[in-house]
Chains A and B, each alone.
Chain A
């Protein structure tokens, strides 16, 4: 029998696999990795077995809360008890935040159970706080840290419905007052937790002139506002994340002190764009937890249901859908990993990677879940019972592509950089450092001040280019990987040529669809490069990730996404991935890069 705390929730057959685990319990690395793994285990244990209806944070109870349009109260209590807010506060400020990839891992158990809880309990506060970590002064950072460590919530209000992601045109005003401080006037819509937050981070117009130097970020405490001068707007009903408290704020000449200004006056767009790089990088990887549950739910269904005198699992189409979903999860996690580690290692390149993650990962996960829905059949439409969580996750996940930065806004971040990267970086930059892909490798701190608004280069795609010369081609699988990688490099050449040829109008927000498609193709290539990097790092460690089977499957799916028609993979590739899907189901392990033990 397994012993030790990490064994909690693991079935007895798990230790038999220890021999092929590179990172088994006996070899927990010290330092950062040990802290992260322990923290993930704490969250997993505190939230408990989601399939056990006696558990107050089970899928059954979370579905009830969703039907009632409320956040799960026991869920919030558990997250209070483990003090999840501390994970949003840098270690230097008394919290636990040290790495973006770790934050992603820590939130994944929450999103695995409930996207609304993940967003509504905490990530909203993190999105707000990042502005202060990145641009606030010492006193503001202390104020934010205190508020969060006391369990308080902070809202962030960037958007106004009338202007969408074109937030440079926002009108909510903070007029400088002669006696110092600002006078808030106007409203902000669709603000998560607006009514229950202890403070708000407000993106405000401080100058009536058009352009990008007319906005500032304010960090305003609720209790510093005259209650007669502001009101919380009515709550919105939404298709997904029904439990989230989405409302708005309206201010009527409400005075706030000068100390609320975060960073310099007029630099609000820059502050927001820097903060976005962190949050856009982190959130899709967290939400991967929801797709993980969706896959596990469908595997459970497929293993138990019999049709045509066999289980659904034995039907080739169903098997292929499950393996495809698992492969997509690994690809998404690879891109998420590379981007979140790039924040630490390649901050000057992060602007493009953050937009790529925020664009591609939610899209891929939503598509994957739609493919899984086909296997689930009619049960996909049922809102309760054993498989009810699936429809909740499939409704909740699109919020990732809507709030915060729409897909098109992410492409618009990439488009003006394409021609520059095409001329200056692709096929000439050196490859990314191998540590970018080291799942459990240590990282330096978060260099908030070194995040730049445009990417100085792109060494992630250079990893793809360099890999073609380094990849082995001994076995048929390795040969397949190499051929697929060659195809990707050919695609990068085409993206390069087309990026160079983009006309002036195609390098603005009003670019033609072809420019948006080009940005999309580029994000797929970054995903391919990330998967290759992850495999190269894992090589020889004996884990599933060191097997070329998953990489071949990953590149194959990405090639098809690009419209290529690669030859079929050798049959052992699919068999290997299928086996892993089943192993992780049987042993209750996560469907991501980390192969983490789950509570259920």
Chain B
């Protein structure tokens, strides 16, 4: 499994999330406000589950499948994921 050599920053994580979510929604990344709930953009529950798989794949971090429900904005998700990284690999 690929493990990033350096821990992601808030900025890089946020950009990564916006990029992925833009892909699911088929919207330009500029349109995605990091403080607006993803459900308001129409991100469905199936895509939310797919996003968890992406996080696991790209960061080797196992997250609860409900993570995008509990942290419904890019900003909230970024904050939560940073805490998870700080807790160490596999801590989730």
Partners in one complex: yes
Interface, chain A (partner B; CB < 8 A): 166, 168, 209-213, 269-270, 412-413, 415-417, 419-420, 423-424, 452-454, 503-505, 507-511
CA distance A161 to B20 in the complex (A): 32
Give chain A nearest CB distance to B68 CB in angstroms.
Answer: 8
Check B56 against A420 for contact (C-beta < 8 Å): yes
Check B66 against A507 for contact (C-beta < 8 Å): no
Query: Could you list some 13 contacts between A and B, CB below 8 A?
Result: A168-B44, A210-B39, A211-B39, A213-B70, A415-B46, A417-B49, A420-B56, A452-B65, A454-B49, A454-B65, A503-B23, A505-B24, A509-B45
Q: Does B15 contact A (CB under 8 A)?
A: no
Other than A416-B53, A417-B53, A454-B49, give 9 A-B pairs with Cβ distance below 8 A. A168-B45, A212-B45, A269-B45, A416-B46, A416-B50, A417-B49, A419-B53, A420-B53, A509-B45
Which chain A residue has the least Cβ–Cβ distance from B52?
A454
CA distance A509 to B26 in the complex (A): 13
Check B66 against A270 for contact (C-beta < 8 Å): yes
CA distance A511 to B23 in the complex (A): 12
CA distance A166 to B44 in the complex (A): 9
Check B69 against A212 for contact (C-beta < 8 Å): yes
Count CB-based A-B contacts (< 8 Å). Answer: 75
Which chain B residue has the least Cβ–Cβ distance from A421?
B53
Q: Does B17 contact A (CB under 8 A)?
A: no
Give chain B nearest CB distance to A13 CB in angstroms.
Answer: 54
CA distance A454 to B39 in the complex (A): 20
Q: Does B47 contact A (CB under 8 A)?
A: yes
Q: How large is the interface on B (under 10, 10 to 19, 20 to 34, 35 or more residues)?
A: 20 to 34
Q: Could you say which residues of chain A place their CB within 8 Å of the CB of B53?
A: 416-417, 419-420, 454, 507
Secondary structure class of chain B's binding surface, majority of residues: helix
Q: Could you say which residues of chain A place their CB within 8 Å of the CB of B50?
A: 415-416, 419, 504, 507-508
In the complex with contacts A211-B37, A416-B46, A504-B23 CB distance below 8 A: yes
CA distance A250 to B56 in the complex (A): 43
Q: Could you say which residues of chain A place their CB within 8 Å of the CB of B69?
A: 211-213, 269
Determine which of B20, B40, B46 lies in contact with A509 in the assembled complex, contact meaning CB atoms within 8 Å. Answer: B46
Q: Does B33 contact A (CB under 8 A)?
A: no
Determine which of A210, A413, A420, A424 lies in contact with B37 in the assembled complex, contact meaning CB atoms within 8 Å. Answer: A210
Which chain B residue has the least Cβ–Cβ distance from A500?
B57
Interface string of B9-28 (1 = CB under 8 A from A): 00000000000100110100
Determine which of B20, B24, B56, B65 lies in contact with A453 in the assembled complex, contact meaning CB atoms within 8 Å. Answer: B65
Give chain B nearest CB distance to A352 CB in angstroms.
Answer: 12
Q: Could you say which residues of chain A place their CB within 8 Å of the CB of B52?
A: 454
Q: Does B61 contact A (CB under 8 A)?
A: no
CA distance A269 to B44 in the complex (A): 13
Check A508 against B47 for contact (C-beta < 8 Å): yes
Interface string of B33-65 (1 = CB under 8 A from A): 000011110001111111011001100000001
Give chain B nearest CB distance to A118 CB in angstroms.
Answer: 30
Q: Could you say which residues of chain A place their CB within 8 Å of the CB of B65?
A: 452-454
Determine which of A166, A213, A420, A508 lies in contact with B24 in the assembled complex, contact meaning CB atoms within 8 Å. Answer: A508
Check A420 against B57 for contact (C-beta < 8 Å): yes
Which chain A residue has the least Cβ–Cβ distance from B19?
A504
Check B37 against A416 for contact (C-beta < 8 Å): no
Q: Could you say which residues of chain A place their CB within 8 Å of the CB of B66?
A: 212, 270, 453
Which chain A residue has the least Cβ–Cβ distance from B41?
A210
Give chain B nearest CB distance to A207 CB in angstroms.
Answer: 11
Which 6 A/B pairs are nearest by Cβ-Cβ distance?
A504-B23, A211-B39, A507-B50, A210-B39, A508-B47, A420-B53
CA distance A412 to B46 in the complex (A): 7
Determine which of A413, A419, A507 lies in contact with B47 in the assembled complex, contact meaning CB atoms within 8 Å. Answer: A507
Give chain A nearest CB distance to B78 CB in angstroms.
Answer: 17
Which chain A residue has the least Cβ–Cβ distance from B62?
A456
Q: Could you say which residues of chain A place their CB within 8 Å of the CB of B20?
A: 504
Which chain B residue has the least Cβ–Cβ distance from A503?
B23
Which chain A residue has the least Cβ–Cβ distance from B57?
A423
CA distance A420 to B63 in the complex (A): 13
Check A507 against B46 for contact (C-beta < 8 Å): yes
Q: Could you say which residues of chain B place their CB within 8 Å of the CB of A424?
A: 56
Give chain B nearest CB distance to A297 CB in angstroms.
Answer: 40
Check B72 against A213 for contact (C-beta < 8 Å): yes
